[in-house]
Amino acid sequence: MRKVQFYGAISIDGYLATNDERLDWLFKTGGADQAPTADFMQAVDTAIMGRHTYEYTMEQTTDQLINPYNPLTKNIVMTSNPQPSTTNTTFTNADITSIVSQLKNEPGQNIWIVGGSGVLIPLLTADLVDELFIQIAPVLLGDGIPLFTKVDYSHRFELVDTNHYGQLAELHFTR
């Protein structure tokens, strides 16, 4: 069965981005090039993200790929205002837990949860996330867009590995 995996970076105080959606604090953190991102992404054939993450990534990349290590990755963009789909990208306002439940039972590689709490929290609440790879950058933002928001759920994960990549500390949890 396919795994649903969150893979992303946060500040020490738990923020994915600044309030104005900037990530320059992360790009100034040495070590990302040492992380095994290519290995992770080569095992992924589906990426699920919110519209803000999709638009930011498209603005920042020259190759216009969410997953440059597997250009055939199917992208699912969760949005309240779907637009026409493209070859590899589907825009939808369907229930994310239904989408992921169906995908988990289909053949394929792993499913990457990209971006923030709007996508991650409903999946955690429904107990659909198998692994969390959280890289922590040594910066305090004080405010911003949090990875985890307050919701009514409680799930225990097991810490299976910690890694150190330059200035990034990576925690790997499994359900």
Dihedral class, residue 14 (left if φ above 0, else alpha if ψ from -120 to 50, else beta): left
Given this model, what pLDDT does residue 1 score? 81
Given this model, what pLDDT does residue 136 score? 97
Given this model, what pLDDT does residue 65 score? 76
Given this model, what pLDDT does residue 50 score? 92
Given this model, what pLDDT does residue 115 score? 79
Cα–Cα distance for residue pair 122/34, rounded to 1 Å: 31
Given this model, what pLDDT does residue 165 score? 94
The burial of 148, by beta-carbon neighbours within 10 Å (0-12 exposed, 13-18 middle, 19 or more buried), is given as middle
Check if the beta carbon of residue 146 is closer than 8 Å to that of residue 16. yes
Given this model, what pLDDT does residue 42 score? 93
Token pair of 28 as six digits: 């100034």
Residue type, 12: I
Q: Is the Cα torsion angle 70, 121, 16, 136 positive or negative in sign?
A: negative
Distances (CA, A) of 67 to 27, 46, 116, 119: 18, 9, 17, 18
Q: Is the Cα torsion angle 86, 147, 63, 69 positive or negative in sign?
A: negative
Given this model, what pLDDT does residue 57 score? 84
Computed on alpha carbons and rounded to an integer, the radius of gyration of the chain in Å comes to 15
Cα–Cα distance for residue pair 30/137, rounded to 1 Å: 9
Given this model, what pLDDT does residue 45 score? 95
Given this model, what pLDDT does residue 3 score? 97
Q: pLDDT in tens for each of the 175 residues of the chain? A: 899 999 999 999 999 999 998 888 998 888 878 888 889 999 999 999 999 888 888 887 767 678 888 888 999 999 999 999 988 999 999 999 999 999 999 999 999 999 789 999 999 999 999 999 999 999 999 999 999 988 777 888 999 999 999 999 999 999 9
CB-based contacts of 72, cutoff 8 Å, min separation 6? 45, 88
Residue type, 112: W
Given this model, what pLDDT does residue 37 score? 85
